[in-house]
Structure 1
Amino acid sequence: MPAPAKSKANPTGRRGDQPKGKKNKTYATATTPRGLLTAAAVIAKPPPELPFELQQLILNIFKDAFPSAFGDDLEDVLQEVKGKLFGRDFLGTFGRDDYLRAYVVRWSPSRALGYLEILSEIIGKALEEREEGRVGDDQGSQLFRIACLGGGAGAEIVSLAGVLNLLLSKSSVFPLKDGIETASAPDSELNQSRAPADLRFTIKLIDIADWAAITDTLNTSLTTPPPISKYASASVKASQKPLVPASAFTTTFHQHDLLNISSDTLADLVGNQDLITILFTLNELYTTSLPKTQAFLTTLTKVVKPGTLLLVVDSAGSYSTISLNGKPEKQYPMHWLVDHTLLAGETVEEKKWKKICEEASRWFRVDEELKYKLELEDMRCQIHLYKRL
């Protein structure tokens, strides 16, 4: 049974490698220009820098949502989780509440920061294109629908709340409609994105393990003011606001095995979504069963609507190499297998997907000045974005 690659115990990067200072630095391989979201396969512009304050708020969400997870026994629990992950005992790993909480507070915060950078680019551009496509006074839909496949461990839901915060905040890198000012540099590509003030996210989180209690707790923490001292003044209490308004942020969790999900069930879950994400999950699916994963992608193609974006993010380099029939001499990069399935077809009528962009290797470096009770880790990943035709 597959489990998300985010379940791996091995970190994707070490915090000690990063440059010092308050700004996140991102890097690409020498053969791959930086950035995303042009018609070309890769682009040269760097992603926007994320507000330091927002990154700290995201870390605080994990700390405040699961205070009991940071007990004296956390290190022992994490060692047990690592052992089960190393043995690929995913059912054992994600079958206990204390294991789930320990996993979330240890590994999901770093991932959430890295995902925030990627998702802010993609959703910002998608909303910009939606606004440009409107005619006259047509306001269109202010609802943006997202399905996160393998997204139960908390990183996706928190990063998406961060994106919505960016879009709705006056200090956002995304200026809102009606001339609301932004404190960010005006020359950033994403600063040109136009986000409706009544924008809403609905998010479906789909995973093989039962993360419902975790995602419910995080959703509550994201949509309610942060805890403060009972001795705080009335003015301080009144100034506390949630990361995102509950009316604009709706999440539901659905427990399913993606490799054995029915076509009808998958259609109900993702058939009308604007964005589908598969973050650090697809490589694990391929490792579990290459034929079933290819069949799953074929079914996904059949059930999604035209215009749907599909975002695949996974480990970069040799960490995402798949062996065919268990033979080490027959190894293929994960992205080649995905392209082979999604981009098949010789004629326009036969083609089902268009590849919008790809990036072979991106580093997200954690800012050293961020505060968290546990170690934060850098993230190196490959990024692929497709659009259903």
Structure 2
Amino acid sequence: MAKARSASQAASRSKQARKPNSLKSAKTEHARPDESEGTVPLELQQKCLTIFRDALRPSADDVAVLQEVKGHLYNRDFAAAFAKEEYLRVYASRWSPSRALGYVRVLADIQDHLLPDDELARLGQSDQESLEIVCLGGGAGAEVIALGGWWSVVTRSMPKIALQARFVDIAAWNDTVETLHKQCVTAPEISKYASAAAREANRPMLSGDAFSCHFHQQDVLDWPENVVHTVITPTTKLVTLFFTLNELYSASIPKTQHLLSQLTAALPANGFLLVVDSPGSYSTVSINGAERKYPMQWLLDHTLLSDSQQKAGIETAARWEKVVSDESRWFRLPLGLEYPIELENMRYQMHLYRRLATKGDG
């Protein structure tokens, strides 16, 4: 798994996912209106898949390596699952492409909150500022391509705006991030027999000036305070936790709560936290020796939204507000896409929080 702390999402989500649909044979179930590709052009989705194909070279010959990775994930031996470069490549080429398409849809859905028209106009008039996004657990490449795809649409009308993305993960995904980013800003491979017009139209998804990526290998559950503030800065606009938070809770609820408090302290006012995870995720909490299971969403809300309660007799102001919340959505792969191996649809919950301005914020 690509995630910041735990790599078991592949095993857990595979159990929850629908039977894989082959894009090659186009046996994908038709999407309902609320889960279609309507906000994400089919051409863009295919371009995202083509980048994965050209960068990671997936093939049916990877099946033996894929089974080894699945075995390690099933046994929750995450160190072994990502101990080899080949494991990382095969994992990213198998699970990240469909996730990337789903994430593009999520980013498109929240764009009006993240970048209202006045904010876009302000960024477009500045030669210095850029949009900064930090992806915790974003090593396996889905977030790289999702951000690139989404940003290619945003910058069609304002090409001078730049996106700076940072990816934090416990595993050594630096080569994967670098390879996929390079493919985003490089024109796709084209046949030597292609026409002059085809060659002229063959352009990269984004220019290198428009999209930069930096990878940080770090266990976020043991993230030193001084390091947190070098990654999540006063100009960070969005932090994402995609199929990561429940795994963090499963590893350690106290450490995860501390991580969320670190995010609260580091993110500026009007910064956003976006959480996407498997629907119906639960974590076990021990209180006074008794164990109870709580929904991931409840734990998250309890941590971020309960600051308005009295603590030690002192009324404290809320530091977050929930802007968007959906307990269950589908992203179904549309008909017509091509990829060398099978991919899966994505079912997910998503929650978007905005950091409020409070007294004492810098």
| TM-score when normalising by structure 2 | 0.86
Q: Deviations over 1:107-165 (max 9, x none)?
A: 00010010010012223432225438969x96586511100000000000101111011
Paired residue type of 1:56: Q
The separation in 2 between residues aligned to 1:228 and 1:77, in whole angstroms, is: 29
> Is 1:342 equivalent to 2:304 in the alignment?
yes
- Contact 1:26–1:363 at 8 Å: present in 2 too? no
SS in 2 for 1:343: helix
Distance 1:142 1:198, change over 3 A: farther
> Is 1:237 equivalent to 2:224 in the alignment?
no
The separation in 1 between residues aligned to 2:210 and 2:132, in whole angstroms, is: 12
Match of 1:366 among 333, 337, 341: 333
Match of 1:256 among 218, 221, 224: 218
Match of 1:273 among 199, 224, 236: 236
Matches within 5 A, 1:1-389: 2-4=5-7, 6-8=9-11, 10-11=13-14, 12-15=17-20, 19-20=29-30, 24-25=31-32, 27=34, 48-67=38-57, 69-70=58-59, 72=61, 74-131=62-119, 143-169=130-156, 176=157, 196-271=158-233, 272-317=235-280, 320-325=281-286, 330-346=292-308, 349-389=316-356
SS in 2 for 1:356: strand
Distance 1:285 1:349, change over 3 A: same
Paired residue type of 2:73: L
Q: Deviations over 1:72-119 (max 9, x none)?
A: 2x0000000000000111111111010000001100001001001001
- Contact 2:328–2:347 at 8 Å: present in 1 too? yes
SS in 1 for 2:307: coil
Moved more, 234-243 or 320-329: 320-329
The separation in 1 between residues aligned to 2:341 and 2:290, in whole angstroms, is: 37
Distance 1:303 1:372, change over 3 A: same
- Contact 1:4–1:282 at 8 Å: present in 2 too? no
Distance 1:224 1:342, change over 3 A: same
| TM-score when normalising by structure 1 | 0.81
The separation in 2 between residues aligned to 1:9 and 1:302, in whole angstroms, is: 31
The separation in 1 between residues aligned to 2:212 and 2:120, in whole angstroms, is: 26
The separation in 2 between residues aligned to 1:87 and 1:373, in whole angstroms, is: 28
Q: In percent, how many aligned pairs have the same letter?
A: 39
- Contact 1:204–1:269 at 8 Å: present in 2 too? yes
Partner of 2:359: none
Distance 1:159 1:6, change over 3 A: farther
Offset of 1:8 from its aligned partner?
Answer: 3.0
- Contact 1:47–1:117 at 8 Å: present in 2 too? yes
The separation in 2 between residues aligned to 1:70 and 1:132, in whole angstroms, is: 40
Moved more, 303-312 or 232-241: 232-241
Gap runs ≥5 in structure 1: 29-45, 170-175, 177-195
- Contact 2:96–2:142 at 8 Å: present in 1 too? yes
Paired residue type of 1:62: F
Offset of 1:231 from its aligned partner?
Answer: 3.1
- Contact 2:136–2:240 at 8 Å: present in 1 too? yes
- Contact 1:283–1:334 at 8 Å: present in 2 too? yes
SS in 2 for 1:274: strand
The separation in 2 between residues aligned to 1:259 and 1:376, in whole angstroms, is: 31
Moved more, 264-273 or 338-347: 338-347
- Contact 1:94–1:209 at 8 Å: present in 2 too? yes
- Contact 1:282–1:314 at 8 Å: present in 2 too? yes
Distance 1:134 1:159, change over 3 A: closer
The separation in 1 between residues aligned to 2:96 and 2:290, in whole angstroms, is: 32
Gap runs ≥5 in structure 2: 22-26, 310-314, 357-362
The separation in 1 between residues aligned to 2:276 and 2:290, in whole angstroms, is: 24
The separation in 1 between residues aligned to 2:143 and 2:215, in whole angstroms, is: 12
- Contact 2:40–2:108 at 8 Å: present in 1 too? no
Distance 1:141 1:386, change over 3 A: farther
The separation in 1 between residues aligned to 2:341 and 2:63, in whole angstroms, is: 10
Offset of 1:197 from its aligned partner?
Answer: 3.3
Distance 1:239 1:386, change over 3 A: same
The separation in 2 between residues aligned to 1:230 and 1:47, in whole angstroms, is: 32
- Contact 1:78–1:103 at 8 Å: present in 2 too? yes
Paired residue type of 1:301: T
The separation in 1 between residues aligned to 2:78 and 2:87, in whole angstroms, is: 11
Q: CA RMSD in A?
A: 2.6
Q: Deviations over 1:168-197 (max 9, x none)?
A: 33xxxxxx2xxxxxxxxxxxxxxxxxxx33
Task: Give every structure 1 segment of 4 or more consecutive aligned residues whose post-TM-superposition deviation is greater than 6 Å.
Answer: none
Partner of 1:40: none
- Contact 2:7–2:73 at 8 Å: present in 1 too? no
